Amino acid sequence: MALIHRTTLKPTKVELLSAWLPTRPWYHGPAVPEVAKAGGFRLDDPEGEVGIEFMVVTDGSAAYLVPLTYRGAPLEGAEHALVGTTEHGVLGTRWAYDGCHDPVLTAELLALIEGRAEAQAQSLTDTPDREVARGYTGDGPLSGLGAPVDTDESTEFAVPDTDLVLRLHRVLVPGSTPPADALGHVTGAWDHPEGTRPRTVFATVEPRRTHRPT
- Preceding amide of 11 cis, omega within 30: yes
Residue 126: the pLDDT is: 82
Domains of the chain: which residue ranges?
Answer: 9-207
Per-residue pLDDT for 69 more than 70?
yes
CA distances, 170 to each of 11, 62, 167, 197 (Å): 23, 11, 9, 18
User: Would the pTM of this model clear 0.85, i.e. be above it?
Assistant: yes
For the chain, give the mean pLDDT. Answer: 92
> Lowest-pLDDT range, 77-81, 152-156, 163-167, 209-213?
209-213
Residue 214: the pLDDT is: 46
Residue 44: the pLDDT is: 96
Residue 155 one-letter amino acid: T
Each residue's pLDDT tens digit, 175-209: 999 999 999 999 999 999 999 999 999 999 999 87
Find the mean pLDDT for residues 62-79: 96
Find the mean pLDDT for residues 68-83: 96
| DSSP assigned state of 128 | B
